[in-house]
């Protein structure tokens, strides 16, 4: 299981930054509100996409190598799935 903590990062679009400016609890809004409008849905979708992309492209140490010389997490997952 992989758990991603929602964190507002700098590489999101201006729309997401605008939504965050108007909603101070973003990205930790209550899940009691099940009626997302399009802007709210898209803000969470883009943020999740960016976080997952950053995670999969992060270098990880393999066989004692330093992280910068290692493989990406995404390539390691793909390699494990082929086995």
Does 68 have pLDDT greater than 70?
no
Distance of CA 24 to the CA centre of its chain: 19
pLDDT tens-place string over residues 9-51: 888 999 999 999 999 999 999 888 788 899 999 999 999 999 8
Could you tell me the residue ranges of all domains in the chain?
A: 14-82
Structure pTM? 0.75
Query: 3-state DSSP call for residue 57?
Result: helix
Percent share of the chain, pLDDT over 70:
93
Average pLDDT over residues 61-80: 76
């Amino acid at each position: 299981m992989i758990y991603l903590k929602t964190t507002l990062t700098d590489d999101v679009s201006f729309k997401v930054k605008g939504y965050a400016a108007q909603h101070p609890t973003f990205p930790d809004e209550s899940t009691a509100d099940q009626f997302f409008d399009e802007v709210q849905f898209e803000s969470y979708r883009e943020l999740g996409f960016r976080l997952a992309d950053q995670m999969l492209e992060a270098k990880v140490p393999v066989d004692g190598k330093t992280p910068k010389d290692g493989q990406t997490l995404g390539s390691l997952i793909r390699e494990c799935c082929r086995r």
